[in-house]
Amino acid sequence: MFYRRKYYNIKSVFVEKFNEHFNKTNLPNQLKHGARLIGRWMRENENDTVEIFAIWEYDSYEDYIEIETKVRGDSAHVQRIIRWYDDNGGREHIYNKYILEVRNEVLACTINK
């Protein structure tokens, strides 16, 4: 198995829009192409920001690459993403004002099998 963590640190005022976008746009497309969501959580920070992260599971790293290629190559999905950015002031505006950090991290298992 291959696991990854997608992590965001965003401004609190943007959480509702961000979570709605995930649930309506990103999650269905990921699932459609074979990604498996283990869970998605958030934690408020004291500085008016929120950490949001999801844990995803794949059969292998190669499957992850194949699924991500399909996700990013889905033209209808890409258009929904572009529209969402445009409706919220543009990609650059969102990343300058609301999304402070993004990380896509590989998780390593520590259990001996």
* Residue 71 backbone class (left: φ over 0; alpha: ψ -120 to 50; beta: rest): alpha
Lowest mean pLDDT among 12-16, 57-61, 109-113: 109-113
Q: Of 42, 38, 48, 41, nearest to 107 (Cα)?
A: 38
Q: Structural domain boundaries of the chain?
A: 2-107
State if pTM tops 0.85.
yes
pLDDT on residue 112: 81
E strand or H helix at 58, and its extent?
strand 49-58
* Tokens read off for 36: 């498996």
For residue 113, pLDDT over 80 is answered with: no
According to CATH, the topology of domain 2-107 is Alpha-Beta Plaits (3.30.70)
Alpha-carbon distances of 64 from 18, 24, 26, 49, 92, rounded to whole Å = 23, 21, 15, 29, 27
For residue 8, pLDDT over 90 is answered with: yes
Q: CA-CA distance, 69 to 52, in Å (whole number)?
A: 23
Q: CA-CA distance, 6 to 55, in Å (whole number)?
A: 7
pLDDT on residue 109: 86
In which residue are the tokens 């505006």 written? 93
Q: Note the pLDDT tens digit of each residue in 44-100.
A: 999 999 999 999 999 999 999 999 999 999 999 999 999 999 999 999 999 999 999
For range 100-113, the mean pLDDT: 91
Q: Of 65, 35, 39, 66, nearest to 53 (Cα)?
A: 39
Q: Note the pLDDT tens digit of each residue in 31-43.
A: 999 999 999 999 9
User: Which band of pLDDT confidence, cut at 50, 70 and 90, is reported for residue 111?
Assistant: confident
